[in-house]
């Protein structure tokens, strides 16, 4: 498999990770309140504009940044960001959401 093909898979995973993080974050903050969100910038946006607009905006910005990395061939930072999101956002949110259902 060529490097660009592998990078495309990572890019798709990055986008999917962002979407899943948005959904899990929404479930977490609507069940437990915004206090469980560790990103204070995101909490401020949620208080100012509501959970859905804040999350859609933040995830859209993240996807645009991921696209910039992909289309400028910065594949390694994109892969690192994907892994970090899985480990530091998806896994914790899955645990929180699963234990509060």
Domain ranges of the chain: 7-99
d(CA 76, CA 43): 29
pLDDT tens sequence across 22-69:
999 999 999 999 999 999 999 999 999 999 999 999 999 999 999 999
d(CA 33, CA 47): 11
Q: Which helix (H) or strand (E) holds 44?
A: helix 40-49
Residue partners of 79: CB distance under 8 A and separation at least 6: 10
**Model confidence band, residue 1 (pLDDT cutoffs 50, 70, 90):** low
CA angle in degrees (0–180, nearest 5) for 100-80-93: 5
Report pTM. Answer: 0.92
């Amino acid at each position: 498999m060529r490097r660009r093909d592998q990078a495309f898979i990572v890019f798709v995973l990055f986008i999917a990770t962002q979407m899943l993080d948005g959904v899990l974050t929404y479930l977490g903050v609507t069940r437990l309140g915004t206090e469980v969100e560790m990103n204070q910038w995101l909490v401020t946006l949620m208080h100012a504009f509501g959970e859905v607009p804040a999350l859609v905006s933040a995830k859209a910005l993240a996807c645009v940044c991921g696209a910039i990395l992909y289309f400028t061939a910065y594949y390694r930072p994109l892969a690192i960001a994907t892994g970090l999101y899985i480990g530091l956002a998806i896994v914790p949110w899955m645990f929180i959401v699963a234990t509060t259902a």
